[in-house]
């Protein structure tokens, strides 16, 4: 019996081939920019893990990896901007070339917070690779150093990104159509 895949009813924003091609380009740029160094990739859980897994396999220089977990708080539909680390790094980033890996840069609150917290541990450098960039929603003045795709202000799921912890397993990036559905999403983490 053929079981329809969950999420297959949602419109595709970026298909898996397009994502793979762009990730190869990003990894090539990273390998070139960090040549002679060993970047330390810090993935922000949970959204970034699928992207991180594909990205590192296209990087052609030595690199090391670690993960941290973040929770952002808010009441109702509005994120308060309060962010907290719920799983810290395993190893020191002192004098390391840290490359934070994020699924999506939205208001910029998460990365702004991470810049402050990670920056206090004296990394040799601190940069950001984000698969997606919802530039029009930015509240704080942060930019990613490597961006996969700039996307419009739609709520996206799949390829690691969730709605209510679901849809992370979709191979493509899809979106939930209609601005009227946005208030249902609540705080984003």
Query: Which residues form the catalytic set?
Result: 106
Spatial separation of the C-alpha atoms in residues 30 and 13, rounded to whole Å: 25
**Contact call for residue 172 and ligand IMP (CB under 6 A):** no
Where does residue 187 rank: exposed (0-12), middle (13-18), buried (19+ CB within 10 A)?
A: middle
106 binds, among Mg ion, ligand IMP, none (CB under 5 to 8 A by kind): ligand IMP
Spatial separation of the C-alpha atoms in residues 148 and 22, rounded to whole Å: 6
When the beta carbons of 14 and 104 are compared against ligand IMP, the nearer one is 104
Among 67, 146, 155, 159, binds ligand IMP (CB under 6 A): 155
124-143 positions binding ligand IMP, by CB under 6 A: none
C-alpha dihedral sign at 88, 90, 93, 97: negative
- Alpha carbon 128 to its chain's center: 9
When the beta carbons of 10 and 68 are compared against Mg ion, the nearer one is 68
**Contact call for residue 100 and ligand IMP (CB under 6 A):** no
When the beta carbons of 34 and 47 are compared against Mg ion, the nearer one is 47
28-57 positions binding ligand IMP, by CB under 6 A: 47
Q: What x/- string results for residues 46 through 65 when contact with Mg ion is judged by CB under 5 A?
A: -x------------------
Spatial separation of the C-alpha atoms in residues 80 and 85, rounded to whole Å: 15
Q: Which residues bind ligand IMP (CB under 6 A)?
A: 47, 102-110, 155-156, 161, 188-189
């Amino acid at each position: 019996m053929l079981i329809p895949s969950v999420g297959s009813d949602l419109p595709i924003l970026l298909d898996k081939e397009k994502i793979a091609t762009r990730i190869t380009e990003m990894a090539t740029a990273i390998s070139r920019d960090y040549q002679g160094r060993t970047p330390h990739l810090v993935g922000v859980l949970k959204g970034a893990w699928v992207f991180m897994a594909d990205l590192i396999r296209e990087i052609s220089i030595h690199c090391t990896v670690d993960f941290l977990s973040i929770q952002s708080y808010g009441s109702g539909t509005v994120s308060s901007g309060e962010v907290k680390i719920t799983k810290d790094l395993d190893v020191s980033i002192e004098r390391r070339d840290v490359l934070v890996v994020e699924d999506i840069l939205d208001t910029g609150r998460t990365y702004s917070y991470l810049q402050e917290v990670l920056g206090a541990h004296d990394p040799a450098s601190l940069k950001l690779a984000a698969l997606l960039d919802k530039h029009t929603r930015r509240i704080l003045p942060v930019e990613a150093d490597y961006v996969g795709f700039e996307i419009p202000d739609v709520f996206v799921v799949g390829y690691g990104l969730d709605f209510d912890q679901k849809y992370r397993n979709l191979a493509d990036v899809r979106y939930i159509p209609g601005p009227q559905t946005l208030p249902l999403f609540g705080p984003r983490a």
